[in-house]
Amino acid sequence: MKLQKTESRASRRGAFSAGAAALAVAVVIAFNLLVAQIPTRYTQLDISPNNIYHITDTSVDYMAALSEDVSIHVLANKDAMDQRIVRFLDQYGELSGRLSVEYTNPTTYPSVLSAYGVEANTIVVSCEATGRQETIAIDDLIEYDIYTYMMSGQRNETAFDCEGQLTSAVDLVVSESSRRAYTINDHGEQGLSASVEDLMKKSHFSVEEVNVLMDGVPEDCDLLISNAPASDLADDEAEMILSYLSGGGQLIYLMGADLTEMPNWNRVLSQYGISPTTGLIADTQRYYQNNPYAIFPEVDLSVDAAQSLTGDSTVLLFSSRGMTLTAPARDTVTVSPFLTTSDHGVNVVDDSDQAQGTYVVGAVATEETDGGTARLTVFGCSNMISEQITGSFTNIANLDLFLNAATVGFDDITNLSIEPVSLQVPSNTITTGGIWSALFVFVIPLAVVAVGFVHWMRRRKL
């Protein structure tokens, strides 16, 4: 009898243990299934040096509002791809239920290439509702230093451009909007850099050059750009540009550092309440390192031309021209500064001609016309968008500011120009570096020496 009771208790304990084990296994399986449903951007930490897997709010917000189904078809051997790209695509596909990401190995299924009319190692982004598709070469997602490659044959990675190209491609296949920008080229103007043109393309702009003196302002011109002209407009050109603006046109003018007198350009600007200064602008309070001509202007985020920036955004200008605001030619014109110096700004003509004050280095004038809203945006510094500046200081917002100024005047396009993530070693851009240099080079070391000396003297007296 006792033996039967003992066996019964052992049996119950065994059943309980088996049940507990089964329950534990079920809980683990359920937990794993639950975790598997969480987007990988939350379950996989981005510990890459440059946060290449971070997806900006621009893409997150855009995909949250996506109104059509979009397919991202990767025509490549997934196992042979750069796994950084694979991981990013996995995270990107989770941004919206309307996005799908699939892989097809063209070696196994070669017919897929002819079906899309593309080559292997291509990403095809398509939208069935609109019937449009865009292609992205996988090799273009990671940028390299071409000069180093040509000289040594080594591929020195410089940037990771997955997010920018994917978001642009998605936008291009679902949106029918497109705009045409022309850059004036008949006065020694600087051409737009390849990176600027690429960002404008991502925002639905096509960019061409125009000789205004010979051809006038094209009828299909949505945005006219003059980048650092070396000589002044002809009288006829000034009238053409004024006529273009009076009809609701949009113009971005970036002044060069050359102090050549340009009365016709000044005449155009004065109609809209903007008067260029005669010298270069320095700022003895907000400057980079020990160069007061490399200034960090104050940004007015309430002006629409700068609305894409945040309070943490930094704009850096080298050898900028300045402006003062005057009464425009018509009461219908509204002019707003969005970049200004501190009250320690200085207009420098030469050593004997310097005037301190607050100067405007970025302004926009608008006017409602029968042809729409005219916009004249003026930047005091053309090299703010040069490759030399934007490539060397990857943490500044110069390009974002320029692209926002270019797109904000159009209701049917938005600034989706997401810059590539730099793969170079990041550097900090510190305003008024002289203060920090003095602190770390002199103050802190001297303080440490003083504390050590006092401690040594106390121990010596003991």
CATH number of 111's domain: 3.40.30.10
Do 256 and 399 lie in one domain? The reply is yes
The token pair at 442 is: 């002199």
Whether residue 304 is predicted with pLDDT greater than 60 in this model: the reply is yes
Residue 412: which domain range? Answer: 178-422
Mean pLDDT of 240-256: 97
Strands 250-254 and 333-340: unpaired
**Domain end among 108, 138, 166:** 166
- 433 belongs to a structural domain: no
Do 313 and 369 lie in one domain? The reply is yes
Name the more confident of 39 and 247: 247
Q: What's the pLDDT score for residue 11?
A: 58
Whether residue 32 is predicted with pLDDT greater than 90 in this model: the reply is no
Do 255 and 346 lie in one domain? The reply is yes
Mean pLDDT of 431-442: 59
- 145 belongs to a structural domain: yes
Q: What's the pLDDT score for residue 424?
A: 74
- Residue 135 CB contacts under 8 Å (≥ 6 apart), including other chains: 116, 118, 122, 123, 124, 125
- 439 belongs to a structural domain: no
- 441 belongs to a structural domain: no
Q: What's the pLDDT score for residue 311?
A: 87
Mean pLDDT of 276-294: 94
Do 158 and 182 lie in one domain? The reply is no
Label residue 426 by pLDDT band (50, 70, 90): low
Whether residue 40 is predicted with pLDDT greater than 80 in this model: the reply is no
- Residue 338 CB contacts under 8 Å (≥ 6 apart), including other chains: 299, 300, 303, 305, 306, 362, 363, 364
Whether residue 247 is predicted with pLDDT greater than 60 in this model: the reply is yes
- 52 belongs to a structural domain: no
Do 226 and 117 lie in one domain? The reply is no
| Number of Cβ atoms within 10 Å of the Cβ of 395 | 12
DSSP 270-296: HTTTEEEEEEEEEESSSEETTEEEEE-
Beta-bridge partner residues of 223: 181
- 435 belongs to a structural domain: no
Range of weakest confidence among 93-97, 367-371, 413-417 = 413-417
Q: 249 burial class (0-12, 13-18, 19+ CB within 10 angstroms)?
A: buried
Mean pLDDT of 196-224: 94
Mean pLDDT of 1-8: 53
Do 206 and 333 lie in one domain? The reply is yes
Label residue 118 by pLDDT band (50, 70, 90): very high
Q: What's the pLDDT score for residue 257?
A: 92
**Domain end among 166, 190, 216:** 166
For the stretch 327-342, pLDDT in tens is 999 999 999 999 999 9
- 5 belongs to a structural domain: no
Do 339 and 231 lie in one domain? The reply is yes
Under 8 Å between Cβ of 82 and 142: yes
Phi, psi angles (nearest 5°) of residue 107: -70, -40
Do 341 and 215 lie in one domain? The reply is yes
Do 83 and 198 lie in one domain? The reply is no
Label residue 421 by pLDDT band (50, 70, 90): confident
**Domain end among 404, 422, 440:** 422
Q: What is the CATH number of the domain that holds 306?
A: 3.40.50
Task: Provide the 8-state DSSP code for 264.
Answer: H
Mean pLDDT of 208-225: 96
Do 185 and 119 lie in one domain? The reply is no
Do 184 and 144 lie in one domain? The reply is no
Q: What's the pLDDT score for residue 223?
A: 98
Whether residue 157 is predicted with pLDDT greater than 80 in this model: the reply is yes
What pTM was computed for the model?
0.76
Under 8 Å between Cβ of 385 and 317: no
For the stretch 178-206, pLDDT in tens is 899 999 999 999 999 988 998 998 888 99
| Domain count within the chain | 2
Do 157 and 246 lie in one domain? The reply is no
Q: What's the pLDDT score for residue 435?
A: 58
Whether residue 7 is predicted with pLDDT greater than 60 in this model: the reply is no
Label residue 49 by pLDDT band (50, 70, 90): low
Label residue 26 by pLDDT band (50, 70, 90): low
Q: What's the pLDDT score for residue 18?
A: 60
Label residue 76 by pLDDT band (50, 70, 90): very high
- 456 belongs to a structural domain: no
